[in-house]
Amino acid sequence: MKSTKKAAGADWWRGAVIYQVYPRSFQDTDANGLGDIKGITRRLPHIAALGVDAIWLAPFFTSPMADMGYDVSDYCDVDPIFGTLADFDEMMAAAHELGLKVIIDQVISHTSDRHAWFVESRTSRDNAKADWYVWADPKPDGTAPNNWLSIFGGPGWEWDGVRRQYYQHNFLTSQPDLNFHNPEVQDALLSTVKFWLDRGVDGFRLDTVNYYFCDKELRDNPPALVATGGLDAPESNPYGMQNHLYDKTQPENIDFLKRFRALLDQYEDRTTVGEVGDGARSLQTVAAYTSGGDKLHMCYTFDLLGPDFTPSHFRRCVGDFQDNVVDGWVCWAFSNHDVQRHVSRFAQNEEEQPRVAKLAISLLSTLRGSICLYQGEELGLPEAELAFEDLRDPYGIRFWPAFKGRDGCRTPMPWEASRAHAGFTTADKSWLPVPYQHAALAVDKQDADVDSVLHHYRETLAFRAEHAALRDGDMTFLDTGEDVLAFTRSKGGETLLFIFNLSREPVKVVLPKELTLGKTIAMPGFTTADAGSTVSLSALDVYCGALA
């Protein structure tokens, strides 16, 4: 199956649809209960059939897997549980043959404590890599250098008995933070990026991109005015009690991002998307990181990864971005590997989950920006409910039962409803269980049902591709006086009007007098009748029309 869709040119990423693959949960081909790169290759036709432009692979690098691969011990090799570099090359060639770009996850704010760099750094205070990580002396009473906290619980510092110093870690104690103030560290990291660029990858998703630098003076963070963890930490986590002024989002990061971009610009048609977890400062950080055309191509924040499914929320998030980020670009997503699946966040009950899944992708596909889909959302998968003994996520294990962690969105992809583990693996046991509710939503079952969420995704993404206004056209919100989300998307001679009723009650919307409707355009999966000056919407419904 060869795609006829073109995803080429220097700006292919602008308005692109990106599909996130979590490799250990996508497809197992060697019967060890873990997904692998050959499994990704096997299932690429499914991804291509959706009509997306690119895939983003979560980490597959050599790692002890304390944090499921986000603790890298070798940036330039594939972990044996996923396969080999040859497997990766084969997968990438197959993806390119199908018209799919390949984006890989770069986790460079920290390494594993088993990385050769850290193994050397911790041997003494005067070795060649002694200053490659953030080391600091204890206070006179032996306590940590300051009050910084780890997102994964406890202090953000760990004592090392050999150096008799503390090292910083924003996440697990086995994930020491690199010292980006050292130019040698930047050079070494950029050389690993070049390794993958030379191999032909099309872009990088930069994990925790605002965490690279910390304050040189190691000043204490002040308390937060409102103690809330936000979406990058649960409320049960004291991390949210601080205003993180000094342990991340430092001004020096701008120059490093320029260095990163300068390297990418030596290659054709490459891109970057940065993950920004910065609380109330996120939009300002995105603006700084994506402006000027010499840093990141785009960023995403946690704004749409929460439980709010209301017109006012979406209007505020998108409107604030448009007001604050003048020449930057955003990548919107409703789900990823770190948050509860969005049909469980947005739907009020199990019965309405398919309708909410369809409405959500219809909304996401009409927003201005690039969009990212997370594997399984095209099936309308809900969050998996797991027993404590099944958990593998150290974050969830640490904060259980107040926070159940991220395993519920990381369970294996269901491919075939009637097979064991829904066709994910032939092993006796998969690394996380496949819930029976997920098996009932398997790809083969939905592929045979033209009314399924899977078919709706294909049709909706095709609709997006047919209208240039949806890829990178202008977006203007409308005031209707009703509790709906209404906006236009415009490019060239085309202007489309969208009205989303996110409520569970029907609504009638009187169009502003200055608008002249040309014709109603049927959004895939929704059957709104032609409208005059008034649009009638049922519960969880969408109207689309062309303006004359």
List the catalytic residues.
207, 275
Report the distance separating Cα 142 and Cα 351, nearest Å.
56
| Helix H or strand E segment including 17 | strand 17-21
The CA–CA distances, whole Å, from 222 to 97, 167, 364, 409 equal 52, 21, 37, 33
The CA–CA distances, whole Å, from 518 to 245, 325, 486, 536 equal 51, 32, 17, 17
CB atoms within 10 A of CB 520: 16
Return the amino acid letter for 72. V
User: CA nearest 480: which of 441, 518, 507?
Assistant: 507
How many residues are present in the chain? 548
Report the distance separating Cα 463 and Cα 522, nearest Å.
10
Report the distance separating Cα 542 and Cα 548, nearest Å.
19
Give burial (CB, 10 Å; 0-12/13-18/19+) of 219. Answer: middle
Report the distance separating Cα 415 and Cα 445, nearest Å.
8
The pair of structure tokens assigned to 114 is 């088993």
User: CA nearest 470: which of 398, 526, 544, 530?
Assistant: 544
Give the DSSP letter of residue 486: E
In sequence order, what are the residues at sequence separation of 6 or more whose Cβ sits closer than 8 angstroms to the Cβ of residue 454? 378, 379, 443, 446, 447
User: CA nearest 522: which of 499, 495, 494, 542?
Assistant: 542
Give the DSSP letter of residue 155: B
Instruction: Assess contact for 381 and 439: CB atoms under 8 A.
Output: no
Convert 306-355 into a string of H (helix), E (strand) and C (coil). Answer: CCCCCHHHHHHHHHHHHHHCCCCCEEEECCCCCCCCHHHHHCCCHHHHHH
Report the distance separating Cα 394 and Cα 518, nearest Å.
55
Report how far apart the first and last C-alpha atoms of the chain are (Å, whole number). Answer: 39
CB atoms within 10 A of CB 99: 18
DSSP 180-247: TTSHHHHHHHHHHHHHHHHHT--EEEETTGGGS---TT-PPPPBPSS---GGGS-TTSGGGGB--SSS
